[in-house]
Structure 1
Amino acid sequence: MDAVAPARREPQPAARPSRTEAEPQEPGPAPAASADEAAEEQQAITVTGTRISGFTAPTPVTSLNQADLQAKAASTVADLLDDVPQLRINQNIGKSSEPVGASNADLRGLGTQRTLLLIDGRRVAFTDPAGTIDTNIVPVALISSIEIVTGGASAAYGSDAVAGVVNFMLDKNLKGLKLDLSYGESVYDDHHRPAISAAYGIGLLDDRLHLTVAADYMHNDGQTAQGTRPWGDDKTALLTNPAYTATNGQPRLLIANNSRFTQMTAGGVLTRAIGLQIAQRLGFPAGTGVQFGPGGTVIPFNYGTNIGGTYMTGGDGATLVDEGNILPEIERITGYAGMRYELSDKVTMFADFLYSRVNVLSDLSPNRDDAGFTVRNDNAYLPSAVRIAMAAQGVSSITVGRMNFEDQTSLFDNATDVKRLTFGLEGSFGNGWRWDVSAQISRNSYESISYYNRIANRWTLGLDAVTNPATGQPICRALLNNPNPTAAQDPYGDIRNCVPINPFGAGSINQAALNYYRGTSWTRSRQEQDVFAANLSGSPFRTWAGDVKFAVGAEYRREKTSLTSDADSALRRWRSINSQPFAGEFTVKEGYAEVVVPLANGVAWADNLDLNGAIRYTDYELSGGVTTWKVGASYSPVPDLRFRATLSRDIRAPNNYELFQRGNQVISAIVDPRTNISRPTLQITSGNTALVPERADTLTAGVIFQPGFLPGLRASIDYYRIAIKQAISTIAPQSIVDYCNQGRTEFCSGVVRDPATQNITQINVIPFNADSLKTSGVDVELQYRFQLFGGQLSLRGLANYVAEISTTSNGITNDFVGLVGLAPPPVGLPEWRFNLDANYAVGPWKLGVGYRYVDGGKFDTRFNITTLDLIDNTVPGRGYVDLNASYKLNSAVELYGRVENLFNVDPPITPNSIATPTVANSPFYDRRGAYFVIGGRIRL
């Protein structure tokens, strides 16, 4: 969407505290307002969160300007935004089927889909089929500032601006060349990151034509295992406690080191129940099981302690804990070309094209059989000692668990391509009226390739190998019984091509078997967005206090997503992922109006008083019409003090993925409350075309203090409250199981159990408009600039206090303030986050130090309420010190360096229970360790 270009800004009392900025200035008298603000008096400005510029907006806005961006020495948008306490940058680090490597902005912890991303005031199209936006696509080379609206803005910008807006402003008036080269690496000599960015702008035809081009490249070799870190090499995992009962005082879960699989090894191990019996028949020591060593030799399997369904402490089981990812490998290329041409003094034509490609490589665990596979007593590869023991025990089959390292580590290779063309006209007429018409065409593609996946049916057929009586060689039972299957019996050639598989002993699976059952699955999607918009703004008349400012506009938007996958995925033949093809499309028509009415200016009781109102009507093709609105006020009783408040109704409409997705599947650990045993469980997720837009009521209120007696000091404090009704949510699979077990029968239809064993075999998950979400808290910002020893010292502090972030589902409310131990879902936030920065500029030097603090809290705020879930449910906070410095060799060349997490502070240990557990699972704390960046900038 395009923000309305404003009329010339009238002089305002004092500065605009709604865009609090802290840009270091060259030595000189400390100004009352920043250099940026002084420039705004001379040219048009854009204020995110409102369609009207040239007044002090009542909605809080946090800004990062060019000096802030340079001090960060950032190569990605995630680096730039990581220090904003109201934001959480979610990055999928791998070991998952979601868009790996994507960095998604999440304001207030309400979910990435509720934060609207803009580039130059225009909506950014989704970059993946799940309906999220990878911020890696934004061209870092051209970012001139970032404005973050920390309150609802749907009346101004439409759907998704429930938690707020992040607007990336690009430098389209650049003249000359900018070049930036840098290199970063961690103190552990990994995460090597070379980066280069360049931008060039030139004015032609008497400066009526302006051309801008830019490109940047970044490669982070990432893909570092947590076992390379001192805090990550103890094989820590979250275990179920087999000794737990509801009344014996034992905790339900344990966090323990030296965690190993209870029933998986590289060569195979009998599952515990049958393993103990067969071991006794084999004469093994009491309490041991049976595993298969090199060449299929039968040897004892030693159990550890705390023996659960997935993990135990110690023992002979395999482990993948050391392989948990810290970051994936990311390579990014972006390119930009823009043109502005003055057709006349009143009309300008503009066009720009953005291209971005982000490649991400990440690994998963090798194919595995947590719950085991069945081996009959006539299996061709079954060691004779076990066959004899089975006969003595009177069993005809056994269950074997195995880590199939022969399959190689599964790899995710993801690629995101973004193509975004914007063009239009803008101009002015009359006394300060501005207009624009624009079109935006986005064609984004996403591809995810999963290497070394496994076709489940072929694995099962190959394992069921018997001896061919005609040759004495192993053969698949299905092929022996049906050597010439019909097309109906064998539509995919699984039987005709079957290769027997020997699972006994590490390295026993040969290449022919691997070629039979192992392969590559893929998903490709295309996200299309077309936006056509027209805007008009100006001042229709004056009141006694000044010009009434007015904006009106209309927009048409089309959103389409189509997803395809390989044939085996469509048929759900792979062990994991199995993306299901779907296509969905909807259109949106909307119109808005916004007005600012000055009621007082320079009178005895008010230095300034403005009222701001906006309304937008949106007609969704699938769910009908909805109205959003905003009312706000800005009041300065004296120039040094301003009060602001906004009340708004905001919306988020369901995206194509939530509406139309078809039965995608993942496998992850689920704890069955009936047995307290964790098992890998299939989860099927699908869309819901009956979804309607969710609605949010947002209140912000604050005060800004800028004393005239102390130039350079500004402070603001703002309260916020967001309440979302009909929230679109997908209940976490574990919660579906727990709710069903608690007697909430509406969830039991989603839990599928095996009729014989009553083990959970599948969980069905769909989104619905059933939740309520609430959050409230306080934002604080303080900055002070003053002269010191011939230079200028700039101090800035940002803080966020979260009083509530809760969900209510089916009458049950959970508050997640202080939930910092788990990655989402569920959503959780630290109670406190704050950043303190001090930057000193003198002569050619700029020096800076920053301190970031993330509060601690609980592993899970729902723990230890009605049961003892963990002995210690607390997670300690962390503080990080960063340093930055730069030196100008001359007017064109600057050298710089930065250190993040100077003291190499380790993250708190917060593990999860998946097969490749993340030891430091919280998204809030640094896992990379001390990180060093050096570089140089050239400006010609």
Structure 2
Amino acid sequence: MKRTISVSTRLRPSAWLAGSSAAALALPLIAIASPAGAQVASPAPAAAAESDTRYDDNREITVTGSRLRTGFTAPTPVTAIGDAQIESRALNTVAELNYEIPQLRINQNIGRSSEPVGQNVADLRALGSARTLLLLDGRRLAATSPFGGIDTNIFPVSLINGVEVVTGGASAAYGSDAVAGVINFSIDKNFEGLKVDASYGQSKYDDFHRPVISAAAGKSFLDDRLHVTVAGDFFRNTGQTRVASRPWGRRNSVLFNNLGYTPTNGQTKNFIADGATFSRMTFGGLIVAPATSPLYGIQFGPNGTPQPFVYGNRINTVFQLGGQGDSIEDEGNIMPRITRYSGYGRLSYEASDSLSFWSELLWSRVEVQSDLAPNYDSGTLTIRRDNAFLPTSIRDIMTANNIPSFSFGRMNLEDGFSENNSVTRAMRYAAGAEGKFGDGWSWDAFVQRSDNRFRQESVNNRIQANWFAGVDSVISPLTGQPVCRINADASTANDNPACVPINVFGVGSISQAALDWYRGTSFYAAKMRQNAAGLNVAGTPFATWAGDVSLAFGGEYRRETINSVSDAVSLVSGWRSINQQPFSGKLNVKEVYAEVGVPLAKDARFAKSLELNGAIRYADYSSSGGVTTWKVGLNYSPISDIRFRGTLSRDIRAANINELFSGRNQVINTIVDPRDNVANFVTQLTGGNPALDPEKADTKAVGVVLQPGFVPGLSVSLDYYSIKIKDAITSVPAQTIVDNCLKLGIDSFCPFVELDGAGKISRVTATLINTQTVKTSGVDFEAAYRRPVEWFGQSDGTIGARLLVTYVHDLKLTTSGVTIDYVGDLATDYSGQPRWKANFDLTYAGGPLKLGAYVRYIGSGKFRSFYIDDVDLPADQNHVKGRAYVDLSAAYKITDAIELYGKIDNLFNNAPPIIPNNIVQPTVSNSQMFDKIGRFYVAGVRLKL
């Protein structure tokens, strides 16, 4: 029975070995640079091979780089990771693969409450996850949240036997979304036997724990014609680790907005400061009336006792430096808590040598818990003179000075920390058939259905109307007891007998009855469904003077729907935060494609080989109509040791359902008004736009692949890429909208900025639009060297080294003539990418022992790439140093069936750079690119039978 394993070129092993100078290599299955310019797997020698029936000489090699299946070398760069590499790195989640491929941007949401916390999506070239097409066994996955994107946490790691990354546009071959590239995760569909992998991880600080167990079993029946495979995973990280548990996280660092800045006084608009506390609220309450008021700076201590508040020497609208104040920064999370369960089952039947059938089921459940700041009012509450709980001494001052009310700030520790919890359930059913006909032709067809569920809850949220009604309390003239004003005034239309008066003076003053009145749980739930069917045919219709012409063609149909609901309070935007708005939407697409590979020369005087590749696809979207994509590629080898390659393509991405139909969602964040450099909390609205047009991207790539025969085992590739996206679908950041309108005077942005009666920014609308262009370019470099080694005169194993480097020249977003280059922007969660990233692996495998050393480098950059040194931020603070992380791994087989292994990540316990933000609970290291856990130990055992 022939086995199939996905790697990175569409050559059969015999064809590859016949023409490769690296054919003498004898390696375990692991990614190395191939003559196709991608990564290829070489079979292991008898001495080093594992007793695994998957790796037999009859396997067929396929790839995502092209749909052509025979006799063709794809000109598109592809990087691959084999299952041996996954094992040697002891990777427990697909998300960890982000660290292995420099072109991938680390993209796990660890705190943005308006999106699924904990979700990890694939993002090539930092162009956004929506522009990276994600496949599982060559077929699309449905969105796992209504916000768009596919959470890679849902994949079962136990059966993943390879990952291929096409680092360039591939829409002509694979359809919409493949603007930045394609990532295909391959499942070992024909696994034989039983394997169990159990491990336990623990941080140096003994506060972050990660138990993992995975298992897979496979068995053939009926003379190997019927095959059954099942697998399951359990993964948990304890998460919720306090930032103050790390030495670098104990300084109360914030991005301090400098109210004293003027263009001529030599100060900067912002600076990073330690020891920050709140300037406009305390845990017991703080009066923040104008400084001329006799009430200014009075706080409330135990039992509501008035006390003086000592202000610092630097104050802004959120924080102060020096003086006396409160902070919750120490309680900030490093990571959310994630628990994952996943299962997979597959049944295949080989009816004949030319026809087989299969069916499969993928199920996953991911639970995420994360806490956020308690409910607060940063100097925005209004307290009237007749408030029922106001201390008599304060009321006397107000009466004497004819002060009817004052502004008040308080953080409600009584509420408990808010929680942002979510559950994602993914279910994918699929069935299909594949076969052969004629002379070398093959076909495959499938039908697939995905039913995904998502639910997000915000626990300990606050109903604003109830809160304000309860805070505005008075003494009832009838009972002499505190009551809500709405129940004591002359109007009966606003009465609410359930209203509970709230005492906000002093820590712990809020009663349980009051908490029950205004505190609650908001929710948002969605169902995402995708139905798909496809047919692919490939073969060699005829030959030229240089060899067989390869042809592939086919079509696909998809229908996607999203239906979501939210609670009644959210519908009227009544909660203090989140207020997700429900929406429903659907779209369908019909696609047809063709791809051809034409050999133009072979063993000629001027060329060892010359091949032309072309592809075209037409897609008809119900939302935006028809669009055509295409690709042209060329391979040229003057000699067998060198190959030049290049591609030119037009790629597209149509808006997804969320981008088209999502309702307006509300978040509250700080916005700096460029007119006075004052930061205030501003409501920001985001949402979809049904008028969005498809993006169009022009991609160019040229490269060279070297495999010198005089250095057996060495493979090197160098590729230049350029991607320019027109009519890019994006939500312009709210701060950018404000700056473009109020600072640069660009009128097209001003309708999105709302001012209140006092001229202050009250709301910013940042809905999705087709902006002008997004452009990125750079260079990728790969080198791999593997050789057998001898100990004491006998062949014992192999030593391998691999280097992956990516250099980003530019990463620009242009909107209404304003261009921002995000290269080196390390502070943002969603935009930037270092100019340099690199991975270096050094491995040894021989007999029962495997050893590995790995270095991951993240280059230096800026706090904000668009900040002006010594204007927006001091130059030394705007520069962020890079980091190099060293990991070690080891494994030893104590029997043929049992292997013990362990690893140490971040061996030198490198701390992340301090790049905070200026929100109420600042993130001390506001970047996902750097490790925050610290040194991490993993020990495990593998059982294979």
TM-score range, shorter chain: over 0.9
Task: Work out whether 1:253 is the aligned partner of 2:254.
Answer: no
Read off the aligned partner of 1:841 and give its amino acid letter: A
Q: Is the contact made by 1:844 and 1:889 (CA closer than 8 Å) also made in structure 2?
A: yes
Task: Work out whether 1:860 is the aligned partner of 2:868.
Answer: no
The equivalent of 1:194 in structure 2 is: 211
Instruction: Quickly say closer, same or farther: Cα 1:751–1:655, change in 2 above 3 A.
Output: same
Q: For 2:318 and 2:809, how far apart are their aligned partners in 1? A: 37
Tell me the alpha carbon deviations over residues 749-794 of structure 1, each in whole angstroms, 9 at most, x when there is no partner.
2112220x32222111211111311111111111101133343110
Counterpart selection for 2:196 from 159, 168, 179: 179
Tell me the alpha carbon deviations over residues 290-344 of structure 1, each in whole angstroms, 9 at most, x when there is no partner.
1111111111011112200111113222212112211100000000000110122
The equivalent of 1:834 in structure 2 is: 838
Q: For 1:408 and 1:682, how far apart are their aligned partners in 2? A: 23
Tell me the alpha carbon deviations over residues 575-602 of structure 1, each in whole angstroms, 9 at most, x when there is no partner.
1111111100011011000000011112
Could you tell me the TM-score, scaled by structure 1's length? 0.95
Read off the aligned partner of 1:72 and give its amino acid letter: R
Local SS of the residue matching 2:516? helix
Q: Is the contact made by 2:596 and 2:614 (CA closer than 8 Å) also made in structure 1?
A: yes
Task: Work out whether 1:459 is the aligned partner of 2:467.
Answer: yes
The equivalent of 1:313 in structure 2 is: 321
Counterpart selection for 1:159 from 173, 176, 183: 176
- Correspondences of 1:604-683 after superposition (within 5 Å): 604-683=605-684
Deviation at 1:534, TM superposition (A): 0.9
- Correspondences of 1:2-13 after superposition (within 5 Å): 11-12=15-16, 13=19
Q: Is the contact made by 2:35 and 2:643 (CA closer than 8 Å) also made in structure 1?
A: no
Could you tell me the TM-score, scaled by structure 2's length? 0.94
Tell me the alpha carbon deviations over residues 683-704 of structure 1, each in whole angstroms, 9 at most, x when there is no partner.
1112111001101011111111
Q: For 1:438 and 1:700, how far apart are their aligned partners in 2? A: 32
Q: Is the contact made by 1:27 and 1:842 (CA closer than 8 Å) also made in structure 2?
A: no
Q: Is the contact made by 1:446 and 1:526 (CA closer than 8 Å) also made in structure 2?
A: yes
Deviation at 1:559, TM superposition (A): 1.2
Q: For 1:49 and 1:384, how far apart are their aligned partners in 2? A: 77
Q: Over aligned residue pairs, what C-alpha RMSD do you find?
A: 2.1
- Correspondences of 1:103-118 after superposition (within 5 Å): 103-118=120-135
Residue segments in structure 2 that go unaligned for 5+ positions in a row: 21-33
Q: For 2:243 and 2:98, how far apart are their aligned partners in 1? A: 24
Tell me the alpha carbon deviations over residues 823-855 of structure 1, each in whole angstroms, 9 at most, x when there is no partner.
22xx11111111111001222111111111111
Counterpart selection for 1:427 from 419, 435, 443: 435
After TM superposition, the structure 1 stretch with the greater mean CA deviation from structure 2, 419-428 or 42-51, is: 42-51
Deviation at 1:869, TM superposition (A): 3.2
Q: For 1:35 and 1:624, how far apart are their aligned partners in 2? A: 53
The equivalent of 1:102 in structure 2 is: 119
Deviation at 1:45, TM superposition (A): 2.3
Deviation at 1:3, TM superposition (A): 10
Q: For 1:6 and 1:716, how far apart are their aligned partners in 2? A: 18
Q: Is the contact made by 1:527 and 1:559 (CA closer than 8 Å) also made in structure 2?
A: yes
Q: Is the contact made by 2:898 and 2:944 (CA closer than 8 Å) also made in structure 1?
A: yes
Counterpart selection for 2:915 from 907, 910, 919: 910
Read off the aligned partner of 1:898 and give its amino acid letter: K
Deviation at 1:19, TM superposition (A): 3.0
Q: For 1:203 and 1:24, how far apart are their aligned partners in 2? A: 23
Q: For 1:793 and 1:276, how far apart are their aligned partners in 2? A: 75
Deviation at 1:25, TM superposition (A): 4.7
Read off the aligned partner of 2:301 and give its amino acid letter: G
- Correspondences of 1:779-798 after superposition (within 5 Å): 779-788=780-789, 789=791, 790-798=796-804
After TM superposition, the structure 1 stretch with the greater mean CA deviation from structure 2, 717-726 or 811-820, is: 811-820
- Correspondences of 1:289-438 after superposition (within 5 Å): 289-438=297-446
Q: Is the contact made by 1:664 and 1:684 (CA closer than 8 Å) also made in structure 2?
A: yes
Deviation at 1:632, TM superposition (A): 0.3
The equivalent of 2:807 in structure 1 is: 801
Task: Work out whether 1:18 is the aligned partner of 2:34.
Answer: no
Tell me the alpha carbon deviations over residues 808-835 of structure 1, each in whole angstroms, 9 at most, x when there is no partner.
11011111111112322xx111111111
Deviation at 1:274, TM superposition (A): 2.8
- Correspondences of 1:757-776 after superposition (within 5 Å): 757-776=758-777
Read off the aligned partner of 1:112 and give its amino acid letter: S
Local SS of the residue matching 2:693? coil
Local SS of the residue matching 1:318? coil
Local SS of the residue matching 1:605? coil
Local SS of the residue matching 1:89? coil
Read off the aligned partner of 1:382 and give its amino acid letter: L
Task: Work out whether 1:810 is the aligned partner of 2:826.
Answer: no
Q: For 2:727 and 2:656, how far apart are their aligned partners in 1? A: 15
Instruction: Quickly say closer, same or farther: Cα 1:23–1:389, change in 2 above 3 A.
Output: farther
Q: Is the contact made by 2:35 and 2:707 (CA closer than 8 Å) also made in structure 1?
A: no
Local SS of the residue matching 1:87? coil
Q: For 1:753 and 1:116, how far apart are their aligned partners in 2? A: 40
Local SS of the residue matching 2:486? helix
The equivalent of 1:887 in structure 2 is: 892
Task: Work out whether 1:845 is the aligned partner of 2:853.
Answer: no
The equivalent of 1:478 in structure 2 is: 486
Local SS of the residue matching 1:155? helix
Q: For 1:482 and 1:153, how far apart are their aligned partners in 2? A: 69
Q: Is the contact made by 1:8 and 1:42 (CA closer than 8 Å) also made in structure 2?
A: no
The count of aligned residue pairs is 916
Instruction: Quickly say closer, same or farther: Cα 1:275–1:367, change in 2 above 3 A.
Output: farther
Deviation at 1:27, TM superposition (A): 7.8
Task: Work out whether 1:44 is the aligned partner of 2:49.
Answer: no
Instruction: Quickly say closer, same or farther: Cα 1:84–1:9, change in 2 above 3 A.
Output: closer
Read off the aligned partner of 1:274 and give its amino acid letter: P
The equivalent of 1:283 in structure 2 is: none
Q: Is the contact made by 1:22 and 1:794 (CA closer than 8 Å) also made in structure 2?
A: no
Local SS of the residue matching 2:488? helix
Tell me the alpha carbon deviations over residues 112-170 of structure 1, each in whole angstroms, 9 at most, x when there is no partner.
11111100010111100011110000110000000011001100110100000110000
Q: Is the contact made by 1:729 and 1:771 (CA closer than 8 Å) also made in structure 2?
A: no
Deviation at 1:10, TM superposition (A): 6.9
Task: Work out whether 1:74 is the aligned partner of 2:78.
Answer: no
Q: Is the contact made by 2:348 and 2:356 (CA closer than 8 Å) also made in structure 1?
A: yes
Tell me the alpha carbon deviations over residues 517-554 of structure 1, each in whole angstroms, 9 at most, x when there is no partner.
11111000111111111111101001111110101101
Read off the aligned partner of 1:357 and give its amino acid letter: R
Read off the aligned partner of 2:684 and give its amino acid letter: Q
Task: Work out whether 1:687 is the aligned partner of 2:681.
Answer: no
Q: Is the contact made by 1:483 and 1:496 (CA closer than 8 Å) also made in structure 2?
A: no
Q: For 2:169 and 2:870, how far apart are their aligned partners in 1? A: 36
Read off the aligned partner of 2:861 and give its amino acid letter: G
Q: Is the contact made by 2:48 and 2:846 (CA closer than 8 Å) also made in structure 1?
A: no
Read off the aligned partner of 2:886 and give its amino acid letter: V
Q: Is the contact made by 2:10 and 2:66 (CA closer than 8 Å) also made in structure 1?
A: no
Q: Is the contact made by 1:415 and 1:447 (CA closer than 8 Å) also made in structure 2?
A: yes
Read off the aligned partner of 1:837 and give its amino acid letter: D
Read off the aligned partner of 2:433 and give its amino acid letter: L
Deviation at 1:483, TM superposition (A): 7.6
Q: Is the contact made by 1:358 and 1:416 (CA closer than 8 Å) also made in structure 2?
A: yes
Tell me the alpha carbon deviations over residues 470-508 of structure 1, each in whole angstroms, 9 at most, x when there is no partner.
1111111101126854xxx57xxxx23111011111111
Read off the aligned partner of 1:418 and give its amino acid letter: A
Q: For 2:854 and 2:780, how far apart are their aligned partners in 1? A: 19
Local SS of the residue matching 2:659? helix
Residue segments in structure 1 that go unaligned for 5+ positions in a row: 281-288
Q: For 2:735 and 2:419, how far apart are their aligned partners in 1? A: 26
Q: Is the contact made by 2:469 and 2:499 (CA closer than 8 Å) also made in structure 1?
A: yes
Instruction: Quickly say closer, same or farther: Cα 1:792–1:297, change in 2 above 3 A.
Output: same
Read off the aligned partner of 2:849 and give its amino acid letter: W
The equivalent of 1:749 in structure 2 is: 751
Task: Work out whether 1:822 is the aligned partner of 2:836.
Answer: no
Read off the aligned partner of 1:119 and give its amino acid letter: L
Q: Is the contact made by 2:854 and 2:886 (CA closer than 8 Å) also made in structure 1?
A: yes
